[in-house]
């Protein structure tokens, strides 16, 4: 493993940083994608080589591909982990934000995958796409985020069926609540976007936004640690015959099962009832 490379995008904090450290601990040389010098300094350690990488910047993606090509060690896995969370009602989210969510959470992953596929094919490696339970069930205000994750699931299925005959495996990982900074950033973004809603939109969705924010905070606080999530990612990277999908956390496993067995209207009622407990009291009185 010491003679093999791993690329982990979005490795500044959270699951990405923990996965980079865990894979280095297991003997891989990890190229950890970060966007700031201070994040590079924080993650640099034995086996972890930080590399400046914004997956939406073509020049940085090309530089990553050149770095991998110039290394004599084979590329064992690409972990597409970078992402942002932007929550707002479908009606109220500006189109520029819709496009940015898809740029980061979908198109950036495709760009990195395309750039590194020659090396992955040469090394008979694997692609690990970090999706979300939001790629299975779309909560209210999660239209853009879940939409990108649903699309990532579909792209992963297509890619798996295209390159499995060529010796490269594709694995999807679907986390539920994980105790990282992403949820706090997502809540802050949701509040900022909510403040930009029109008065009519605020009357329609204001209490819903508050409820989903509270549910997100609660789910994150009770979720698994980033280190526990990293161990699942590492398993997908190292297992000789990995499953096509792994969930992280009991909530993810439960929701995945519910989406398989419940009719849409029943699932709607389950989600609505769960959210109702988190609406501001003045809105439910």
Which residue among 142, 145, 205, 246 is the active-site one?
145
145 is catalytic: yes
Q: Are 176 and 252 in contact (CB under 8 A)?
A: yes
C-alpha 279: how far from chain center = 27
Distance in Å from the first CA to the final CA of the chain: 59
Cα–Cα distance, 51 to 10 (Å, whole number)? 11
Alpha-carbon gap, residue 268 to 235, rounded angstroms: 33
Extract the tokens encoding 273.
């009832």
The CA-based diameter of the chain, rounded to the nearest angstrom, is 66
- Please compute, for residue 113, the number of CA atoms within 13 A of its CA located in the half-sphere on the CB side: 25
Catalytic amino acids? 145
């Amino acid at each position: 493993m010491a003679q093999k490379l791993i690329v982990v995008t979005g490795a500044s904090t959270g699951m990405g940083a923990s996965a980079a450290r865990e894979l280095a601990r297991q003997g891989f040389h990890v190229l950890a994608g970060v966007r700031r010098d201070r994040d590079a300094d924080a993650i640099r350690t034995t086996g972890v080589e930080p590399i400046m990488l914004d997956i939406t910047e073509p020049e940085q993606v090309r530089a990553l591909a050149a770095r991998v090509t110039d290394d004599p060690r084979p590329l064992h896995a690409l972990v597409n982990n970078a992402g942002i969370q932007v929550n707002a009602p479908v009606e109220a989210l500006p189109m520029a934000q819709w496009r940015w969510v898809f740029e980061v959470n979908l198109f950036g992953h495709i760009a990195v995958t395309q750039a590194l596929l020659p090396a992955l094919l040469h090394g008979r490696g694997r692609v690990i796409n970090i999706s979300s339970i939001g790629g299975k069930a779309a909560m209210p205000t999660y239209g853009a985020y879940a939409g990108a994750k649903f699309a990532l699931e579909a792209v992963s299925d297509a890619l798996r069926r295209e390159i499995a005959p060529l010796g490269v495996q594709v694995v999807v990982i679907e986390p539920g609540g994980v105790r990282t900074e992403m949820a706090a950033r997502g809540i802050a973004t949701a509040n900022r976007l909510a403040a930009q809603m029109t008065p009519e939109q605020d009357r329609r969705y204001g209490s819903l936004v508050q409820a989903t924010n509270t549910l997100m905070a609660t789910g994150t606080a009770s979720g698994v640690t980033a280190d526990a999530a990293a161990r699942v990612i590492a398993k997908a990277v190292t297992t000789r015959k990995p499953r096509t999908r792994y969930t992280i956390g009991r909530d993810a496993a439960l929701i995945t099962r519910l989406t398989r067995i419940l009719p849409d209207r029943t699932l709607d009622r389950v989600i609505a009832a769960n959210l109702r407990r988190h609406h501001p009291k003045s809105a439910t009185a």
